[in-house]
Structure 1
Amino acid sequence: MVSVVGISSSSQAELNETLDALGTNLLTVTPGTTLTGGQAELPLAAESMVRRIGPVQALSAIGRVDDTNVYRTDKIPTVETNGIVPYAARADLLATIGGTIRSGRWLDAATGSYPATVLGSAAAERLGISRSGPETKILIGNRWFTVIGILAPAALAPELDSAALIGWPAAGTTLGFDGHPTRIYTRSRDAQVEAVRDVLGATANPEAPNEVEVSRPSDALAAKQAAGAAFTGLLLGLGAVALLVGGVGVANIMVISVLERRAEIGLRRSLGATRGQVRMQFLTESLLLSALGGAGGAVLGSGVTAGYAAYQDWLTVIPVWALLGGFASTLAIGGLAGLYPAIRASRLSPTEALATP
């Protein structure tokens, strides 16, 4: 039971980790359009207001720096922008979207206050930059910025691939960024994603919630929930079958034990042992056998699970309820399975038992 449940749980953990990488609990908030058809904007306090939503576990934002272009050198014609967009970025952006750095480092409290930038993967390719470093600089607006890092492709935030990301403070002091976020990323508890989505618009912009666009939950979230329900049913079914097989095994062993030890039973009865004492002897043996089997099975099952998970490069997950429940269930099933053989042994008469060859 432990190995079956443990391997299934490890497989489920691997599946959940894969689905989490698809952004199952990631929601984004962006400005929509006004009633007159113009471009709306999120309030300056939108981030702090969204952060107050209880189920929101992580939050970050980017803000587009308008009327500013990005160039490799000052010799490039101003019309050739290559579609690269400068954004102010929060220091916790990478952790929120699950992004990774391909080269160099990410913005932090120190570099975010100076003219330093991290390029998206596509932006770096368009600018002909393959590595970051103090000697690598690009022109953003009319200021030179040092490229301190290059992102790997951001599967959950493709808009960052063609971006030049600047620290929020530096964007304000060097490029005149007004501080309004243009995209807010949130991570919520899986069970509360729909509820969070329902209130995000009104929370981010209480005065004009109709001017806010909120992304819908990833289809992978529904897949994750369905997979979780399926695995729960599978674990219960496999555990029940394993316990049933174990109970049948204990019962068979005890029945055979009674049949093979009839002479011992007759001798004990002839020496004065009561039926209750004989019954208690075989019931105790059944419980002891079940306890030893349960403890050994838990250790062996844990080892099998760990070995198989390591072979598959999975996270090893052995639910505590499987260990404790398996041991307790083994005792209960062992007691029930040994009850009939114990009663049968106690009902043997001494003469009948001693007469058995």
Structure 2
Amino acid sequence: MDVRDLWTEALAGVLARPLRSALTTLGTVLGITTLVITIGVSSTAGNQIVGRFDALGATSVTVVVPPPPPSADPVPLVDWSGVRAVARLAGVESVAAIADSQETASVQVRANDVVAPGEVTGQTMAVVAASPTLPAAVRGRMTAGRFFDDGDVSRHERVAVVGDQAARLLGIGSVEDSPAVFLKGQAYTVIGVLGGAEREQRLATAVILPPTTAADRLGLGTVTRVLINTALGAADQVAHQAPIALAPGADDALAVMAPPDPADARKGVQGDVNGLFLVLGLVSLVVGAIGIANVTLVTVIERIGEIGLRRALGASRRQVAGQFLLESTTIGLLGGVVGAALGLVVVVAVSAVRDWTPVLDVRLAFGAPVAGALVGLLAGLYPSLRAARMEPVDALRS
């Protein structure tokens, strides 16, 4: 039998029962569609998530300054003026220094100095010192008033900025009347409320003082962290240069927390999504393969007379097996083609709805039909071998 004749016979067998063939193909279609959607959506979502990660996490660098060793006259590793040196680095968009300590992590803060018996007159809050560039460094905004400036710092002004949640706890709704907060018996004029901080969100419940004022009155003058925001793609370079700019010659003593490589994040996202949905695609493919095997086996049983007649007219076992094997492979191939097309359409549709840029691998268009044909080939092995084992006399008698 010529290969073309074998293909013609197999195609005729598939089209002889179009509804059954269509339902059999549906299992493979679902499996291939799920796999294509899995790969396409995971790649697209990976790029989207990494893009959002770049917008915040991949541009944030934090330098942690260890406390100075105990001595009679400890010299801090990082001075407040070091912020200006970091700000001059290429790729740095904003930078600020923060000073905090265990002693000021929980301070009784009151909005007035009147103590009424039986009433709660204060709140326990953290008190920190920060450079005037803090709002930009934490990606926050002033919801009321203003942040202290270099003039307030140089004059050692007794002013304070409170976080938005701290303002609500203390009952400070406006700074126009120059409200005051009392820390350890000393009054500080509240000149602003800081809100919407994307970094250092704990500042929402904190009281922020100028570094000179905090050093004079609370002994809080040693920088403990430097917050740096960089341009996209400059975080790695800034992470290497910032310690040198802050503490020349002692940069090894500083700890730098830099964001991971976005490429690693993309691979991680794709791996997680693939691992989640790949199982569904494989299950669908297994169900499709079982359906093809079942229908092919039923077809063999229904066509026992035809098989006997072919064998009696001289068809070999290989030709009989090849015919049924080619039928199951054709069904799998059709399912792969339709499944690949539907999967690509779904990926593009999901990307359009979510305003994402679809990421499509050209190899899917060719790999999916091949995978479908392979599923059909494997599913048709047993029924085809069973058909080939039939003896002509027994088949004709049946």
Task: Give me the TM-score of the superposition, normalised by structure 2.
Answer: 0.47
Which letter maps to 1:302? L
Structure 2 CA distance for aligned equivalents of residues 216 and 287 of structure 1: 53
SS in structure 1 opposite 2:284?
Answer: helix
Which residue matches 1:155? 198
Which letter maps to 1:280? G
Which residue matches 1:264? 306
1:296 is aligned to 2:347: no
Which letter maps to 1:185? N
Which residue matches 2:94? 62
Q: Which moved more, 1:304-313 or 1:28-37?
A: 28-37
RMSD value, Cα: 5.4
Structure 2 CA distance for aligned equivalents of residues 255 and 214 of structure 1: 65
Which residue matches 1:102? none
Say which of 327, 339, 359 aligns to 1:285.
327
Which letter maps to 1:27? V
Summarize the alignment of residues 310-321 of structure 1 with structure 2, pairs less than 5 Å apart.
Answer: 310-311=352-353, 316-318=358-360
Q: Deviations over 1:78-102 (max 9, x none)?
A: xxxxx99766xxxxxx9xx997xxx
Q: CA deviation at 1:208?
A: 1.4
SS in structure 1 opposite 2:145?
Answer: helix
Equivalent pair of 1:3/1:305 in contact (CA under 8 Å): no
Which residue matches 2:61? 27
Summarize the Cα distance change of 1:44–1:286 in structure 2 as closer, same or farther, 3 Å threshold. Answer: same
Listed as ranges, the gaps of 5+ residues in structure 2 are 1-30, 97-128, 152-194, 202-225
Equivalent pair of 1:266/1:352 in contact (CA under 8 Å): yes
Which letter maps to 1:26? S
SS in structure 1 opposite 2:341?
Answer: helix
Structure 2 CA distance for aligned equivalents of residues 296 and 263 of structure 1: 33
Which residue matches 1:307? 349
Structure 2 CA distance for aligned equivalents of residues 243 and 288 of structure 1: 15
1:185 is aligned to 2:229: yes
Q: CA deviation at 1:314?
A: 5.5
Equivalent pair of 1:28/1:186 in contact (CA under 8 Å): no
Which residue matches 1:144? none
Which residue matches 1:122? 142
Q: Deviations over 1:57-89 (max 9, x none)?
A: xx424367xxxxxxxxxxxxxxxxxx99766xx
Summarize the alignment of residues 1-357 of structure 1 with structure 2, pairs less than 5 Å apart.
Answer: 1-5=31-35, 6=37, 9=42, 23=57, 26-29=60-63, 36-38=74-76, 40-41=78-79, 42=82, 59-62=91-94, 121-122=141-142, 126=145, 155-156=198-199, 184-186=228-230, 201=243, 205=247, 207-209=249-251, 212=254, 214-215=256-257, 230-311=272-353, 316-318=358-360, 324-356=366-398
Structure 1 CA distance for aligned equivalents of residues 243 and 150 of structure 2: 32
Equivalent pair of 1:265/1:345 in contact (CA under 8 Å): yes
Summarize the Cα distance change of 1:278–1:11 in structure 2 as closer, same or farther, 3 Å threshold. Answer: same
Which letter maps to 1:23? G
Aligned length: 261
Equivalent pair of 1:262/1:354 in contact (CA under 8 Å): yes
SS in structure 2 opposite 1:122?
Answer: strand
Task: Give me the TM-score of the superposition, normalised by structure 1.
Answer: 0.52
Summarize the Cα distance change of 1:43–1:17 in structure 2 as closer, same or farther, 3 Å threshold. Answer: closer
Q: Which moved more, 1:312-321 or 1:250-259?
A: 312-321
- Larger radius of gyration between Structure 1 and Structure 2: 2
Structure 1 CA distance for aligned equivalents of residues 239 and 277 of structure 2: 32
Equivalent pair of 1:22/1:156 in contact (CA under 8 Å): no
Q: Deviations over 1:249-272 (max 9, x none)?
A: 221232222223333323322222
Summarize the Cα distance change of 1:40–1:16 in structure 2 as closer, same or farther, 3 Å threshold. Answer: closer
Q: CA deviation at 1:26?
A: 2.9
Summarize the Cα distance change of 1:204–1:251 in structure 2 as closer, same or farther, 3 Å threshold. Answer: farther
Q: CA deviation at 1:297?
A: 0.8
Q: CA deviation at 1:315?
A: 5.3
Q: Percentage identity across aligned positions?
A: 32
Listed as ranges, the gaps of 5+ residues in structure 1 are 52-58, 65-82, 88-93, 100-119, 128-138, 142-151, 159-181
Structure 2 CA distance for aligned equivalents of residues 204 and 232 of structure 1: 43
Q: Which moved more, 1:291-300 or 1:207-216?
A: 207-216
Q: CA deviation at 1:300?
A: 1.3
Structure 2 CA distance for aligned equivalents of residues 60 and 209 of structure 1: 18
Structure 1 CA distance for aligned equivalents of residues 49 and 254 of structure 2: 33
Equivalent pair of 1:21/1:98 in contact (CA under 8 Å): no
Equivalent pair of 1:26/1:187 in contact (CA under 8 Å): no
Structure 1 CA distance for aligned equivalents of residues 347 and 138 of structure 2: 29
Which letter maps to 1:122? M
Structure 1 CA distance for aligned equivalents of residues 95 and 240 of structure 2: 23
